[in-house]
Structure 1
Amino acid sequence: MINKRLVVIGGGAAGFFCAVNAARLHIDLEVILIEKSSKLLSKVKVSGGGRCNVTHNAPDILYMSKRYPRGQHFVKKAFNRFFVPDTILWFKERGVSLKAEADGRMFPVTDSSQTIIDCMLREADKYGVKIRMNAAVTAIIKDGDDWNVQLQDGSSLKATYVCVAAGGYAQVDKFTWLKAAGHQIIDPMPSLFTFNMPGNPITALMGISVEEAMVKVAGTKLLEKGPLLITHWGMSGPCILRLSAWGARELAAIQYQFVAIINWLPAFNENTLRDEIQGLRFSLGGQKMHNKNPFGLPQRLWQFLLQQSGIAEEIRWADMPSKEQHKLTKLLTAMECPVKGKTTFKEEFVTCGGVQLSEIDPSTMESRLAPGLFFAGEIMDVDGITGGFNFQHAWTSGWIAAQLGQKA
């Protein structure tokens, strides 16, 4: 007999995971999932270039928790209840095998996000989760022991429990209905964005990637190493995205106007590279610099850096003037690129900010202020760097919220 109802607000990864697990675990529970748009699991669809970066092959909870610029302590506690091996097993039991790539990212073996979407929809169908689309929430109001979920079309749903898994909002005014329920909201800011470098000649090299570069934001402690991609508007790639996540608030405060310092050869600094180049002048002396690239950089990037240093095409290693040598050393290890603005990384929009974590119990995902109100996913002030971390938080918080307050 159905005598209790859970309303899940949000049809993304966290919302679906909460809904299908709650419906499976509580046989006396009616589960209704409401989504404000006409699309379900839209971030799952586009994640990882359409492959869905489900989670990260982390060795332990401590390693994993350090990949969250905001919410480290919170996720560390939550991961003790549901972690990467639990995610892998959950999907495996439902016919979806995951594989780990060299950088730790984990994908379905099919390399298709549709595999994950189909799995979720099958589970929802199997356990009778009711799905309502184009249903935007305007208020959640405590009504005795129950909740009243009010929708934009004027209708309302009575619920024993509510789980808010509405994702991250870009503007603080979108949180008004949660503030009205008594929760503090940390102002949202974009995270995981690329750097715009308007007018920089390096954008002519769009499409070129470097396996490992080191990027620093001048005047700050922000520093990251990793793959870097040159785009037609500036720079992207895991290195830039991680830097944007760690610097989300700091970079917003300076309105995304700063200087990025690029070291194309992180194994060297200016001094050690100067010594290395001195040696190359002897060992490669008779060879033309434009033809011979001893550092493994993409050829077009190497030639671009030589041109920017004023080194003509016919110059041989032995004949490089000292002034140009100094310029090249500087460009290879500390190239200054002014950044003016940001671009959202594809459709994988992530925000920092959201419901204040001190108001949520990480072992249950239940509001400390309002019993029966739960949270899952990015609506909370938790965000991870790129690499499967945000999805793992979605699965973990969704699974915990689905327990409806039951501790292990």
Structure 2
Amino acid sequence: MSKKKRIIIIGGGAAGFFAAANLDENKYYVTILEQNSDVLQKVKISGGGRCNVTHACFDPRELVNFYPRGNRELLSVFTKFQPGDTMDWFETREVPLKIEKDNRVFPTTDSSQSIINAMINEVKNKNFEVKTQVSVSEIIKQDEDYLIKTKQGDFTADIVIYTTGSSPKSVKLIQNLGHKIVEAVPSLFTFNIKDALLKDLPGTSFENAEVSIPSLKTEESGPLLITHWGLSGPAILKISAWEARNLAKLKYNFDIEVNFISKPISEAEEELKDFKNSNPKRSIGQSKIFDVTNRFWNKILEINHIDAEKQIANLSGKEMSLILENLCAKKLKVTGKSTFKDEFVTAGGVDLKEINFKNMASKILPDLYIAGEVLDIDAVTGGFNFQACWSEAWLISQHLNSN
């Protein structure tokens, strides 16, 4: 039997651990090097400590629509390992999962520790080594193998799996090996907006709003939330992810238009007129016409100097159009961004043209595999970033196991 090969996995996060958990211990000696004192730290804090493992979307063609960068490349990856496979993997290892009503998938324990334990046990059972607080300073390709230099001593490997996440230092290491890097910019952020309409209304939410950035000819819809600093919620996060590069170029100063009720002005005008005709004596402030909170409705009246006590029959044409404009076509100025700390995601990383997506191998160097957030792939929130990690890691392990 041929000699066992040595694999070093650099980075003990989701992709690194999942690759190790699926590698054949009869073929390989595997060592995971993690620079922090704990492995799987992002898995631990994700989903508020519950771990949003994946998303219940089982059609690869649909799934790739949640990835602003990497959607084309991931299609073939997801045809080989998709969320249903992830769910099977954990469930066969005694981690039951549940699908919540927004299709996010969590362990039924509501604790990320269940997910962490499943992977750690798998790696332990294979007698693979996990070394924490080992920070890699350099990777050198030698004739037959790789030399991995760390302050804790040097390691040699026949094969390197690089799954470090997207920290600037780890991107630099891979760049030094000859890989081209697409510069990182923030993705998934909320918009800072100062506007009288939003003032004093943090916590107010809209079930389905439309947000557009006219200068970029782009729009998104979904739940929207007013915060202390401006606007957040899925509609904003989605548009920030898809337009991450363009918004960085605009230095986060741009105009948006919001339709809080997702209805064309003409349709909203009809509803307002119908209500006015059938409830002429109702005061404007007490009129529940649209699906918005009472506070938000009254804030529209207040900033447009419309007397809330006035009977709706006496609403002038000008006042009507002011109300409709604020509801369906409110122009707002964005003057910056705020980032979710625990959901922090960047757009950028290793150029995807240099990766073979059949097995996640580097096209630049032999026996080097790259997966996870260090690649120029990112997704909106909801378990998609993890799913990319699981699928990529699975491809690496299956390819190496079949060699």
| Matched residue, 2:137 | 138
Q: Say whether 1:263 aligns with 2:262.
A: no
- Residue 91 (structure 1) aligns with: 90
Task: Sort the Cα spacing of 1:122 and 1:315 in 2 relative to 1 into closer, same or farther, 3 A.
Answer: farther
Q: Does 1:351 align with 2:346?
A: yes
C-alpha root-mean-square deviation of aligned residues, in Å? Answer: 1.9
Aligned partners of 1:383, 1:65: CA distance in 2, in Å?
A: 11
Find out whether 1:210 has 2:206 as its counterpart: yes
Secondary structure of 1:69's aligned partner: coil
Deviation of 1:174 (Å): 5.2
Instruction: Work out whether residues 171 and 374 of structure 2, in 8 Å CA contact, stay in contact via their aligned partners in 1.
Output: no
CA distance in 2, matches of 1:8, 1:135: 12
C-alpha separation in 1, matches of 2:44 and 2:285? 43
Decide which of 139, 152, 155 is 1:157's aligned counterpart.
155
CA contact (8 A) 1:216 1:261 kept: yes
* Contact 2:11–2:34, Cα closer than 8 Å, also in 1: yes
Distance in structure 1 (CA, Å) of the matches to 2:29 and 2:196: 57
Worse overlay, 158-167 or 107-116: 107-116
Aligned equivalents of 1:154, 1:203: Cα separation in 2: 54
- The aligned counterpart of 1:369 is 364
Structure 1 residue 81 displacement after superposition: 1.7
The 3-state SS of whatever aligns with 2:284 is coil
Map residues 230-241 of structure 1 onto 2, 5 A cutoff.
230-241=226-237
Deviation at 1:243, TM superposition (A): 0.8
For the residue of structure 2 that corresponds to 1:235, the secondary structure is: strand
* Cα shift at 1:386: 1.7
| Of 180, 184, 200, the match for 1:184 | 180
Structure 2 unaligned residues grouped into runs of 5+: none
C-alpha distance in structure 1 between counterparts of 2:259 and 2:371, whole Å: 39
Show structure 1 runs of 5+ residues with no match: none
Offset at 1:327?
A: 0.9
Counterpart AA for 1:8: I
Letter in 2 for 1:45: K
1:5 aligns with 2:3: no
C-alpha distance in structure 2 between counterparts of 1:282 and 1:200, whole Å: 30
Q: Tell me what 1:384 maps to.
A: 379
Does the 8 Å CA contact 1:140/1:150 hold for their aligned counterparts?
A: yes
Name the % identity: 39
Matched residue of 1:326: which SS?
helix
Equivalent in 288, 291, 296 of residue 286 of structure 2: 291
Pairs within 5 Å for 1:2-401: 3-22=4-23, 25-151=24-150, 153=151, 155-169=153-167, 171=168, 175-198=171-194, 202-266=198-262, 268-401=263-396
> How many equivalent residue pairs?
402
The farther-off stretch of 381-390 and 285-294 is 285-294
TM norm structure 1: 0.93
Greater than 3 Å deviation, 4+ residue runs: 198-201, 404-408
- Alignment deviations for residues 354-374 of structure 1 (CA, whole Å, 9 cap, x no partner): 111111111111111211100
Deviations 1:304-345 (A, max 9, x none): 222223222212221222222111100000112211111112
Task: After TM superposition, give the deviation of residue 249 of structure 1 in Å.
Answer: 0.4
Give distance in 2, aligned partners of 1:69 and 1:259. Answer: 21
**Alpha-carbon distance between aligned partners in 2 of 1:337 and 1:390, rounded to the nearest angstrom:** 30
Do the aligned partners of 1:70 and 1:383 also contact (CA within 8 Å) in 2?
Answer: yes
Do the aligned partners of 2:196 and 2:303 also contact (CA within 8 Å) in 1?
A: no
Per the alignment, in what secondary structure is the counterpart of residue 318 of structure 1?
helix
Superposition TM-score, scaled by structure 2 size: 0.94
Instruction: State the Cα distance separating 1:400 from its structure 2 match.
Output: 1.3
